[in-house]
A and B are shown apart, each in its own frame.
Chain A
Amino acid sequence: MPHLPYLKETPSQTAGPYVHIGLAPGAAGFDIYERELGWDIAGPNAAGQRIRVEGLVIDGTGSPIKDVLLEAWQANAAGHYAHPEGGGKVEDGFRGWGRVITDFDTGQWGFDTVKPGPVPGRNGTVQAPHISLWIVARGINLGLHTRLYFEDEGAANAADPILNGIEWERRRPTLIARRADRDDKAVYRFDIRIQGDQETVFFEI
């Protein structure tokens, strides 16, 4: 092993069952912050199609996990991230980042946002519209990274360099959210299977 004097990354630990206290105290049962962060991903000024994303996170026994916290990171409709290296300007109030928790009784989670545009990939490729997701919970020692793609972006998905990089073609659909329309709004269903049959693809990023 080389021993150049780099520091070493702080190791991860589980977020535990009470992650809500720190990151969503209202859900833990108390009101403390003037403003909790992460509940408004796109803001009112964002251009593009308003959508809803929802689903369950399912454990290896087939049961919904009811103490999950998910974070979402996405580009705006023009394919720009709200970050200095994000590719271009975003609308005022567009954060592109969201934080949601599962319902304690049902395990359902969901958020409202705008559909992201395509963003550049490596070596001149184009990535299909996608939302990066990060999942933490009791029993998860290191946050799990995955991506949500959209069923109605068939051509873009077929050309996406990340999906195409998954050698097992039958695993690719685990990253495709299914569209249903409700009250004239596109609702994308994305269930995450942590373990077992149809296990969701997780990435080492």
Chain B
Amino acid sequence: MKPPAEYYQRDLNRHPPALTPAYKTSVARSPRLARISLEQTVSEITGPTFGHSDIGPLDHDLIRNYATTGDPIGERIILHGRVLDENARPVPHTLVELWQANAGGRYRHKKDTYLAPVDPNFGGCGRTISDADGHYFFRTIKPGAYPWRNQINNWRPAHIHLSVFGASFSQRLITQLYFEGDPLIPLCPIVQTIPDTDAVNALIARLDMNASIPLDSIAYRFDIVLRGRRSTLFENKLEGN
């Protein structure tokens, strides 16, 4: 059997290290020993696949997917972009999930006790499957900033949590996107877990006037890049390489 075509190794200078003391919870939740490098096998180059039968027709539309008595309150936005790999190839048919607070920074979660109210017409989660060219889009409400118990006066920038699968378990990624121009971004200990400013910039969704719908919704664009895959050079090409 031919060795599997591997995914490029992660550039760990681009990801946050495990121990980032300014983000206090990381102190007791970070391994002290080095991770052991594992040469990829079939267990790492495969991963779950999803289809449209897995999700509902409104799952990508957070303005409608939990509305009962009317629309949610807040800034109506379209969030769109592409899922690509490091070779700049589209990642098609992959599951993208997101979750967020409402316009006031309140999460619909039994553990969130922030005094800003929940919005009766806003749930705060969505999911979609990228198309053949890797495009995805959601419709939602721009989330508000949110206070949290880290340092006494820490506030999260407006952010949306994103979860992406890719084609293999080694591409699995959870991240957060921020919004262009938000002055809370450089103050946030969670943003600052990332040591590289270029990498931080990659998490900032850009205002996209061309994708906005006049008199309806403003748009932000956010491209997601997953690990690329090596071609099996000097061997017969496998499918997809």
Chain A residues engaging chain B, CB cutoff 8 angstroms: 5-23, 25, 28-30, 32-35, 37, 59-61, 63, 65, 67, 71, 73, 75, 81-87, 95-97, 104, 119-124, 127, 130, 132, 134, 136-145, 147, 162, 165-166, 171, 194-196, 199-205
Complex contacts, B215 vs chain A, CB 8 Å? none
Asked if residues B97 and A18 are in contact (CB atoms below 8 Å), the reply is no
Is B212 interfacial (CB-CB < 8 Å)?
A: no
In the complex, 25 of the A-B residue pairs with CB atoms within 8 angstroms, ordered by the A residue number, are A6-B86, A9-B173, A9-B227, A10-B203, A11-B14, A11-B15, A12-B175, A13-B203, A14-B174, A15-B161, A16-B176, A21-B109, A22-B97, A65-B29, A67-B111, A71-B172, A75-B43, A119-B43, A122-B39, A139-B23, A140-B26, A195-B28, A203-B35, A204-B10, A205-B170
Complex contacts, A144 vs chain B, CB 8 Å? 31
Q: How many inter-chain residue pairs (CB < 8 Å) link A and B? A: 266
- SS class, residues of chain B in contact with chain A: loop
Closest to A99 in B: B48
Complex contacts, A85 vs chain B, CB 8 Å? 4, 42, 45-46
Assuming A86-B46, A203-B38, is B28 touching A17 (CB within 8 A)? Answer: no
B49-63 vs A: 1/0 string, CB under 8 Å?
110001110010000
Closest to B30 in A: A195
Asked if residues A11 and B48 are in contact (CB atoms below 8 Å), the reply is no
- SS class, residues of chain A in contact with chain B: loop
Cα distance A72–B229 when bound, in Å?
Answer: 22
Complex contacts, B123 vs chain A, CB 8 Å? 21, 25, 30, 32
Complex contacts, B3 vs chain A, CB 8 Å? 122-123
Q: Which of B1, B9, B14, B50 contacts A8 (CB 8 A)?
A: B14
Asked if residues B193 and A194 are in contact (CB atoms below 8 Å), the reply is no
* B interface residues, tally (CB under 8 Å): 90
Is B40 interfacial (CB-CB < 8 Å)?
A: yes
Q: How far is the CB of B17 from chain A (nearest CB, A)?
A: 7
Asked if residues A13 and B48 are in contact (CB atoms below 8 Å), the reply is no
Cα distance A142–B173 when bound, in Å?
Answer: 8
Asked if residues B29 and A22 are in contact (CB atoms below 8 Å), the reply is no
Q: Which has the most chain B C-beta neighbours within 10 Å: A6, A14, A19, A122?
A: A14
Chain B residues engaging chain A, CB cutoff 8 angstroms: 1, 3-4, 9-12, 14-18, 20, 23, 25-33, 35-50, 54-56, 59, 65-66, 84-88, 95, 97-100, 107-112, 123-125, 127, 161, 163, 168-170, 172-176, 190-191, 193-194, 196, 198-200, 202-203, 224-228
Asked if residues B42 and A25 are in contact (CB atoms below 8 Å), the reply is no
Q: How far is the CB of B113 from chain A (nearest CB, A)?
A: 12
Asked if residues B193 and A13 are in contact (CB atoms below 8 Å), the reply is yes
Complex contacts, A137 vs chain B, CB 8 Å? 29
Cα distance A73–B161 when bound, in Å?
Answer: 22
Cα distance A82–B32 when bound, in Å?
Answer: 34
Complex contacts, A162 vs chain B, CB 8 Å? 38, 41
Q: Which of B30, B36, B172 contacts A165 (CB 8 A)?
A: B36
